[in-house]
Amino acid sequence: MRVLVTGAAGFLGSHLVDYLLARGCQVVGLDNLLTGSRRNLAHLPAEADFEFVQADVRDPMTIDGAVDGVFHLASPASPLDYQKLPIETLEVGGIGTRNALEFAGAKQARFLLASTSEVYGDPLVHPQPESYWGNANPIGPRSVYDEAKRFAEAMTNAFRHHRGVDTVIVRLFNTYGSRMRPADGRVVSTFAIQALAGEPLTIFGGGRQSRSFCHVSDITRGLVLAFESDLAGPVNLGNPRETTIRELADLILVAAESDSPVAELPLPVDDPRRRCPDISLAETELGWSPSVSLEEGLPMVIEHYRESDAKAGSARCAAAGVRMTTR
């Protein structure tokens, strides 16, 4: 099996590449390195069945030879990144997804779209089943990501029904693990770096908002199960354990053995108040559920940052960056 992974040099993409190679796939990884990094793939041995193509998914894709599957992950994914790159994010979700679908159609490859829990916006239904249409603001600060992914889902559906492409849509909830950029502004990386540096953990909005954090190893396993199934989706992949940001801060302080204080900052505009996946569909149709608890996964992240000797200041800058747009 030869597969293409778009966004292969990113946090999730690089873990998926590892998982696919370990399963004996030939992998072509495509990335424009806008938010990804070659460092995330540097550990691959020279003999690995891996080929890297530096290209932008907004350009038509040309890859010679047979391709049996396309995992379309490419996109800025952290709120900090996509608010800095609004046009690019919309184009990647729109033009990039169209190009990836055209490519999958031409190769007669199965196509997996990595969509997001952000399609549910600031949800009014808890937990969120796939049948919920969401409560998303089309012009708010998060809209470039939310609407790009909603458009990508619609485009994927159109190619399925009008061009006969074999597709599956997967909605990913918050994912964490090693290789998240220390300054990507996301809460797990930011708190981990702050805790290690003994700096205050920047809790927005009192930390009463919730997320559901899933370890990247569980998500890569779920992506491949969805790809190997005959589901069209959408199917949620995420950890159904709902955690407030305040609880997460406490867990990270314990994992890092840190006595950092917390600093309260205002809640960014349109920051969803609750988010928790209903994973019944993945459980019944894919036999999938997460196996790594936060108590097991967070120490792994801390260890990763200890080893990579990340610099503390960068996370603080990230937390203060785009999120200045507060209520």
Binding interface with ligand UDP (CB under 6 A): 78-79, 174, 185-187, 190, 202-204, 209, 211, 245, 268, 271, 319
| Helix H or strand E encompassing 215 | strand 214-215
Of the pair 60, 261, the CB lying nearest ligand UDP is at 261
* Closer residue to ligand UDP, CB minimum distance, 56 or 122: 122
Residue type, 211: R
Nearest distance in Å: CB 117, ligand UDP: 8
User: Toward ligand UDP, which CB reaches closer, 111 or 145?
Assistant: 145
Closer residue to ligand UDP, CB minimum distance, 159 or 204 = 204
Q: Which is nearer to ligand UDP, 35 or 167 (CB)?
A: 35
CA distance 24 to 137: 42
Active site residue 145: yes
Residue 6 vs 190, nearer CB to ligand UDP? 190
- Please provide the DSSP assignment of 101-149 as one string: HHHHHHHT-EEEEEEEGGGGBS-SSSSB-TT---B--TTSTTHHHHHHH
- From 82, 120, 145, 176, active-site residue: 145
| Closest C-alpha to 128, from 11, 226, 237, 16 | 237
How is the chain split among helix, strand and coil, in percent rounded to 5? 45, 20, 40
Find the shortest distance in angstroms from Cβ 318 to ligand UDP. 8
Give phi and psi for 179, each to the nearest 5. Answer: 75, 5
If one counts every other C-beta atom within 10 angstroms of the C-beta of residue 102, the result is 15
Question: Which position has the token pair 């190009």?
Answer: 99
Joined together, the tokens standing for residue 92 give: 């990647």
For the record, the structure tokens of 271 come out as 């920051």
Neighbouring-strand partners of residue 236? 171
For the bound state, the minimum distance from the C-beta of residue 207 to ligand UDP, rounded and expressed in Å, comes to: 6
* Minimum gap (Å) between residue 247 Cβ and ligand UDP: 11
Smallest gap from residue 251 Cβ to ligand UDP (A): 13
Question: What number of CA atoms fall less than 13 Å from residue 162's CA on the CB side?
Answer: 8
Compute the least distance from the CB of residue 217 to ligand UDP, in Å.
18
Catalytic center residues: 145
